[in-house]
């Protein structure tokens, strides 16, 4: 007999503290049940496995809760506390405090149950890219940290040994340990003195650390984002440059690279449209990844782990993608959302969630929550919860909301979603040459004019209220056609054409027309 699936919980944080709600579904017009009354804090986080919850008060304390009972496990009084983080299963707490001198060790790894300080060292400063200092694998069997020119490994069963072995990597500026399993670690070295930037992957096995198992070098890169898949066989590296030397983007330049631990692939992900990479995410199985990329209207493509494109979703106002943990469908933001059944290649539903700052699927794959939060947006803060096909189930507004998170749970602890196979029979994904030139990503009507999707449109930010053109591309003609350019767009187009003519004249040596 199948075991009872775990309950869904939601952490909600406001200016005066956080609370924990019981998850949906909620009866119409009802208020979510409070599992934990509002408690003062400055930050709150679940452990990766959802077993424990950490709440901190700036410069004062860190409190760890048991998520099953929401009772306090341990309170740590920590004067000058600046940051804190739980290990994946909540065994360890890592804290960063103000320090007045190098002799004062300000980074501490604590054992939560015993409140014992297992390891301490001095760190002059920390950033979002380098915190937490010590990284753990999902099962906490591997732990490591980045130091000057090297990666140091610890024995999580006995931190008192200090680091037990290390990998030399001169110039290392960022690292990411593979999580499930913790078999490999990736390090990034920025470009310097004409030497290109590089990413290298090493085995975490002490006896096999002499040489990188994979390596990729590239120029025009100042920072990277690492994305390991489940299984730790593939690594996506989003390389970012602060300046776009082609002058096509104000926000710099991005390139998506892919490396595998078996060296089967080391190169750039083949994207079919120029422009920035807005988002990339692995499926829960680790067998596919989805990328949203290109100048607006952006394009969305799904690749397998051999880096071959599996499915083109056309173009639309995309900037975020979220895989359903059940692997069947995913949602796209910003204000316009499309829910797809990936296995059937069909659109399940569509809706709106304007001004959403965060968005995520519930662990059971049945609900999709969006939140408008401060300080990003100071007005219209609130939470919306949709079912898996895009139907709005719940909405609550706040005067000010800072955070809304699902409690993590393993998706396999929940049953399958039988009714996900119900979809719109008229939806078709057309993998033709027309689509590569600008097809409709979700054709809901076979009667829609074919030239609408191919017609060039002016760029509009994804949050613009006047983005009818890109909505039309996403929703297959249900929005107004918006065939004519606005006056501003027409003026900008003419200016760009004049600039091109001037550059062409300068390149050919002909004098520019002064009239």
Percent of the chain with pLDDT over 90: 43
Non-local (6+) Cβ contacts of 10 within 8 A are 20, 21, 23, 32, 369, 383, 404, 405, 406, 407
pLDDT at 125: 85
**Other CB atoms closer than 10 Å to residue 391's CB: what's the count?**
11
Going by their DSSP bridges, the two strands 92-97 and 107-111 should be labelled as antiparallel
Lowest-confidence range among 28-32, 135-139, 338-342, 404-408?
338-342
For residue 111, the number of C-alpha atoms closer than 13 Å in the C-beta half-sphere is: 10
Give the span between the Cα atoms of 480 and 476, in whole angstroms: 10
- H or E stretch at 329: strand 329-333
pLDDT at 500: 74
Give the span between the Cα atoms of 468 and 482, in whole angstroms: 6
Give the span between the Cα atoms of 146 and 286, in whole angstroms: 26
Q: What backbone phi and psi angles, to 5 degrees, belong to 54?
A: -115, 130
177-196 tens-digit pLDDT: 998 898 999 999 998 888 89
Give the span between the Cα atoms of 132 and 491, in whole angstroms: 49
Question: Using CA of residue 464, residue 369, residue 332, residue 347, what is the dihedral sign?
Answer: negative
Which of the two residues, 196 and 435, has the higher pLDDT score? 196
Lowest-confidence range among 267-271, 282-286, 326-330?
326-330
Q: What is the largest CA-CA distance in the chain?
A: 84
Domains recognised in the chain with CATH numbers = 41-132 (2.40.10.480), 137-268 (2.130.10.10)
- Residue 165 predicted with pLDDT over 60: yes
Give the span between the Cα atoms of 49 and 37, in whole angstroms: 22
- Residue 456 predicted with pLDDT over 80: no
pLDDT band at residue 101, thresholds of 50, 70 and 90? confident
Q: Which of 172, 147, 176, 145 is nearest to 159 (CA)?
A: 145
CA of 41: how far to CAs of 16, 53, 372, in Å? 7, 12, 20
pLDDT band at residue 247, thresholds of 50, 70 and 90? low
Average pLDDT, stretch 126-146? 91
Give the span between the Cα atoms of 294 and 427, in whole angstroms: 24
CA of 74: how far to CAs of 113, 150, 397, in Å? 7, 34, 33
Q: What backbone phi and psi angles, to 5 degrees, belong to 362?
A: -70, 155
Average pLDDT, stretch 407-416? 85
Distance between start and end Cα atoms, the chain = 84
Q: Which of 72, 88, 8, 12 is nearest to 409 (CA)?
A: 8
Average pLDDT, stretch 219-229? 89
- Residue 426 predicted with pLDDT over 60: no
Counting DSSP H helices and E strands in the chain, the numbers are 4, 36
pLDDT band at residue 433, thresholds of 50, 70 and 90? very low
How many residues comprise the chain? 515
- Residue 431 predicted with pLDDT over 50: no
pLDDT at 471: 38
- What value does the mean pLDDT of the chain take? 80
């Amino acid at each position: 007999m199948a075991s009872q699936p775990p309950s869904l919980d939601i952490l909600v944080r406001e200016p005066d503290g956080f609370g924990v709600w019981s998850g949906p579904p909620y009866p119409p017009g009802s208020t979510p049940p409070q599992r934990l009354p509002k408690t003062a804090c400055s930050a709150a986080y679940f452990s990766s496995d959802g077993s424990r919850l950490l709440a901190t008060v700036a410069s004062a304390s860190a409190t760890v809760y048991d998520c099953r009972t929401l009772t306090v496990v341990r309170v740590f009084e920590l004067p000058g506390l600046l940051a804190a983080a739980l290990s994946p299963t909540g065994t360890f707490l890592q804290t960063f405090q103000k320090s007045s001198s190098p002799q004062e060790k300000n980074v501490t790894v604590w054992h939560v149950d015993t409140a014992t300080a297992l390891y301490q060292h001095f760190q002059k400063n920390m950033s979002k890219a380098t915190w937490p200092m010590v990284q753990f694998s999902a099962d906490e069997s591997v732990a490591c940290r980045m130091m000057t020119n090297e990666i140091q490994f610890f024995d999580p069963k006995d931190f008192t040994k200090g680091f037990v072995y290390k990998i030399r990597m001169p110039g290392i500026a960022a690292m990411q340990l593979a999580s499930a399993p913790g078999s490999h670690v990736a390090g990034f070295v920025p470009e310097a003195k004409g030497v290109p930037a590089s990413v290298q992957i090493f085995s975490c096995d002490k006896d096999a650390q002499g040489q990188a198992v994979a390596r990729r070098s590239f120029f025009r890169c100042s920072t990277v984002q690492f994305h390991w898949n489940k299984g730790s066989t593939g690594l996506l590296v989003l390389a970012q440059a602060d300046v776009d030397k082609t002058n096509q983007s104000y926000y710099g330049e991005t390139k998506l690279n892919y490396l595998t631990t078996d060296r089967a692939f080391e190169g750039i992900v083949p994207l079919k449209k120029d422009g920035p990479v807005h988002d990339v995410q692995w499926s829960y199985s680790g067998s596919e990844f989805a990328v949203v990329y290109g100048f607006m209207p952006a394009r969305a493509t799904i690749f397998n782990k051999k880096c071959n494109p599996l499915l083109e979703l056309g173009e639309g106002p995309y900037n975020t993608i979220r895989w359903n943990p059940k692997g069947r469908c995913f949602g796209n933001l910003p204000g316009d959302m499309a829910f797809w059944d990936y296995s059937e290649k069909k659109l399940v539903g569509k809706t709106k969630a304007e001004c959403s700052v965060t968005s995520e699927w519930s662990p059971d794959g049945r609900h999709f929550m969006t939140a408008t939060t401060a300080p990003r947006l100071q007005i219209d803060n609130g939470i919306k919860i949709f079912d898996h096909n895009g139907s709005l189930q719940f909405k609550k507004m706040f005067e000010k909301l800072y955070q809304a998170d699902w409690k993590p749970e393993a998706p396999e602890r929940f049953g399958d979603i039988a009714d996900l196979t119900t979809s719109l029979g008229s939806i078709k994904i057309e993998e033709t040459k027309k689509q590569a030139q600008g097809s409709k990503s979700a054709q809901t009507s076979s009667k829609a004019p074919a030239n609408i999707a191919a017609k060039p449109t002016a760029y509009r930010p994804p949050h613009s209220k006047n983005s009818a053109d890109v909505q039309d591309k996403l929703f297959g003609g249900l929005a107004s056609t918006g065939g004519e350019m606005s006056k501003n767009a027409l003026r900008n187009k003419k200016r760009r054409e004049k600039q091109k003519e001037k550059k062409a004249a300068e390149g050919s040596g002909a004098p520019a027309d002064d009239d």
